[in-house]
Every structure is written in C-alpha cells, then in structure tokens.
Amino acid sequence: GAVVSQHPSRVICKSGTSVKIECRSLDFQATTMFWYRQFPKQSLMLMATSNEGSKATYEQGVEKDKFLINHASLTLSTLTVTSAHPEDSSFYICSASSGTGRETEAFFGQGTRLTVV
Amino acid sequence: AQKITQTQPGMFVQEKEAVTLDCTYDTSDPSYGLFWYKQPSSGEMIFLIYQGSYDQQNATEGRYSLNFQKARKSANLVISASQLGDSAMYFCAMRGGNEKLTFGTGTRLTIIP
C-alpha cells in the first residue's frame, strides 16, 4: 500500500513554543490531507482538511490560528501548533488520499505524540 | 450528519477463536464507504478492509471479513483464527458525501493465549 510518513514521532516542547509536524506522501500525490487529534483511549477527531494549493478547512471548534496547516505541495502538508500549552498535549495523526470518492482509501502516517511541559 | 457506533469498548478472546467486532452507522448519504482500521499501541492506523455501500458481496481480506447488513446499517468485522498479534484497538469508520472519515469510539481487543 501507499506510504505516508509523519515526523517527528515524538516531541516534547516547552509551553509557549511552537511545534511543526510534517506529513509526506512518499509514493503518490495526495490531493487531500487530513489532520486528526486523538486523546488517550479516545477516537480520532478530525481537525482540518487541507487541499493542495488552497486554505485548509477547519472543523468546528478548532482554532485555525493555533493549528496552522500548510499544504504547499502534493506530497507535503504541515501542522504547526503555535504557542503550545499543556492542554495541547495529544496524539496527532495525518492521513492522505490520492483522490476523491467514497471508496478512496486514506493512508495514515505513524502519528506524532506531542507533550507540552 | 454521519455517525458510527461501536458498542463494545473491550473484548477478550481466546487465541485461535473467531471474533466479531460490532459497528453500526447512520447516514443520509445514498452512497458511502465503510472502513475498518487497526491501531496497535504504537499508534499507527492500519487499514484492514473496505466495503462500499453498493457492493453486493461482503468484503474479505485474508482473515478479515466484513458482515455488511445494509438494511440494519451494520458493518461488523469478523476476524477468524485470532492471533496474539491481533491485540489492538479497532476502529470502524465511514466516508460519505463530504469525503470525510468519521470514526467510531473503537473496541480494544485482547487475545488471550
């Protein structure tokens, strides 16, 4: 199957700093990428949808100024958590699709465990 | 709006036995796709199986099969001959007209030796 690479896998940062997470599709062009957040023992919650070359679409309740998403190319999307605080500590995971349609499989990255101290 | 319901927060199954993980869904979309993912403790999401709403036959992928009952809006995952490596969280998900994947709350499966 297709490969999506997400980095870093773990990051610890100080409160008030910003953290950038990268999501790369390695062997296909991802027209759409999705960013999810997962709290311990909970399900994945969609944060935003990014399409190459356009602004991301954020889900209700997600602060777009805090979670900056950039999808500059068909193989790379980045999520920047700005001015991180301890409550931002979570597992963030991206997924990428090569096209649209209900049957289109979403390939997931390995996830990033963010801890803000 | 789309909704996925997984009513089994946790399950314990003896090794080599078959196990069924329940999933029901609700959507107003006439066309949709149903997915199952496995999430081990490492966190990665591993795609297991896909079922399209118009597919006539139930999907199968190796030891995984999907018991799709459209009238009941259920898409249960069946794992045959369970193995210790099957221990993980399992998520049912649906993609409808808005192209977004909606996930259920998951079922933690533990295989007992």
Between A112 and A101, the more confident residue is: A112
Measured between beta carbons, the chain B residues lying within 8 angstroms of A11 are none
The pLDDT tens digits of the residues spanning A30-44 come to 888 999 999 988 999
**What pLDDT sits at residue A103?**
65
Nearest CA to CA, how far is A14 from chain B (Å)? Answer: 23
| Range with lowest mean pLDDT among A51-55, A72-76, B53-57 | A51-55
The pairing of strands B107-112 and B88-95 is antiparallel
Cβ atoms of A4 and A24 closer than 8 Å: yes
Partnered with residue B86 across adjacent β-strands are: none
Of A93, A102, A110, the CB nearest to B95: A102
The pLDDT tens digits of the residues spanning A85-107 come to 999 999 999 998 776 666 677 88
CB contact under 8 A, A91 and B95: no
pLDDT of B22 above 90: yes
Of B50, B95, B106, the CB nearest to A43: B106
CA-to-CA distance for B1 and A59, rounded, in angstroms? 13
Nearest CA to CA, how far is A102 from chain B (Å)? Answer: 5
The closest alpha carbon to B10, from B106, B111, B103, B107, belongs to: B107
Cβ atoms of A92 and A33 closer than 8 Å: no
